[in-house]
A = this chain, B = another copy of it.
Amino acid sequence: VYVIADTSCGPGDAERFGEILLRFARASRSEPGCLDYGVFRSVEQPERYLSVEKYADSPAFEAHRDSPHFRDIGMAELLPLATARDVRVFTDPKTVPPRS
């Protein structure tokens, strides 16, 4: 299960938002079912962040959403700073071979 969470915050909150998001990423990486949690920032819109997450399966993603850090950091600290949020879940990634 791949998850792309696209979140924007107010311009004045961008640095602080990134710091909280990194803390959330570290906590999420400690979940047994979380295989990867990368934090990326838009080059053109510095108040926009992308979390790129990989979970072992759907129950592992549910466990992430039921975790204490999801509640205490995600819901309590990040969500109030978010001005826009779009979360997409993908389950059928295909690797594209390079052009030769």
Contact = CB atoms under 8 A, between A and B. Distances in A.
Q: How many copies of this protein are present in the complex?
A: 2
Interface residues of A, number: 33
Nearest to A96: B87
Contacts of A44: 22, 38-39
A2 B70 CA distance: 26
A42 B40 contact: yes
Main SS at interface, chain A: strand
Interface string A66-100: 00001000010000000001111111111110110
A94 B98 CA distance: 27
Contact of A50 (B52, B86, B87, B99): B52
